[in-house]
Amino acid sequence: MKITLTVFALSFAGIVAFGQRPTPDEIDTKKGKLTIQPVFHGSLVLKWNGQTIYVDPYGGADAFAGLGDPNLILITDIHGDHMNVETLDGLNTKSAKLVVPRAVADQLPGSYKDRLIILANGEETRLGEITIKAIPMYNLPDDESSRHKKGRGNGYVLEIGGKRIYISGDTEDIPEMRQLKNIDVAFVCMNLPYTMDINQAASAVLEFQPAIVYPYHYRGQGGLADVEGFRQLVEKGGKKIEVRLRNWYPGE
């Protein structure tokens, strides 16, 4: 099962990530720079206008050393590489709001309950100058065999300083992804057998046409996905989409 992504990976990330994590990227917004920091697997940190946003913190607290305490935490799903209580407990989250789907809220320890904002697919909330909308994420076909059933988890679209940021969570190339509009930055998963292959991911990206796309969450049962192959597929599609390849698996 996906939640057994290995204890080795959890501890290994914490040891190496601080020293070897990629240099952060910066994107101009209407109100200053948005900083994008890949961390590990499906985890990233966004910084903007004094706010620090953790997405699916996983890999041990040491993986986030030096990145500042979060004001906002987004969790997409119940699996251990997204909702990781060990990592959360090792971080200073006392000042953070947690935006989560109901399934995550039901499984988090009681110490987090008074800071939760629970969103179902299609719902949104606003925290200060940041708007967060929950987007469906699920496997196809959406039936009893699905590892990720529709409605259990959330992808997210964030509006930050006039920019729209899409975080896919664990999903295949579902209609709700393909129908996205005006996305400036997209983080798109691609790992078999849990989400989708690079062909599905590239096809979806070419349809909703984000300005920038980051392949992330790209380790599956067969190892790391061919993200260079993904980039080539997107570039062959003839759209003006910048594919940014960053290392979400430092030391591997």
Number of domains, the chain? 1
Tell me the residue range of the domain where 116 lies.
Answer: 23-243
Does 221 fall in a domain?
A: yes
Query: Taking 50 as the threshold, does the pLDDT of residue 67 lie above it?
Result: yes
Q: Is the pLDDT of residue 63 over 50?
A: yes
85 pLDDT tier (thresholds 50, 70, 90): very high
Q: Provide the CATH number for the domain around residue 165.
A: 3.60.15.10
17 within a domain of the structure (yes/no): no
pLDDT of residue 19: 56
Other residues' Cβ atoms within 10 Å of the Cβ of residue 96: 20
Going by pLDDT thresholds of 50, 70 and 90, the confidence category of residue 217 is very high
Query: Residue 223: which pLDDT band, with cuts at 50, 70 and 90?
Result: very high
How far does CA 41 lie from the centroid of its chain?
Answer: 9
**Would the pLDDT of 2 be above 90?**
no
- pTM recorded for the entire structure: 0.92
- How do residues 124-173 score in pLDDT, each as one tens digit? 999 999 999 999 999 987 777 778 889 999 999 999 999 999 999 999 99
Q: Kindly tell me if the per-residue pLDDT of 28 is higher than 80.
A: yes
Is residue 210, in this structure, part of any structural domain at all?
Answer: yes
Domain assignment present for 36: yes
Rounded to an integer, the average pLDDT of 41-56 is 97
**Is 143 inside any structural domain?**
yes
With a cut of 80, say whether residue 6 has pLDDT above it.
Answer: no
| Average pLDDT of the residues in 202-224 | 97
- Is residue 9 assigned to a domain? no
Asked whether residue 144 is assigned to any structural domain, the reply reads yes
CB-CB contact of 156 with 132 (8 Å): yes
Q: Write a three-state SS string for the chain.
A: CHHHCCHHHHHHHHHHHHHHCCCCEEEEECCEEEEEEEEECCEEEEEECCEEEEECCCCCHHHHCCCCCCCEEECCCCCCCCCCHHHHHHCCCCCCEEEECHHHHHHCCHHHHHHEEECCCCCEEEECCEEEEEEEECCCCCCCCCCCCCCCEEEEEEEECCEEEEECCCCCCCHHHHCCCCCCEEEEECCCCCCCCHHHHHHHHHHHCCCEEEEECCEECCEECCHHHHHHHHHHCCCCCEECCCCCCCCC
Look at residue 3 and tell me if it is in a domain: no
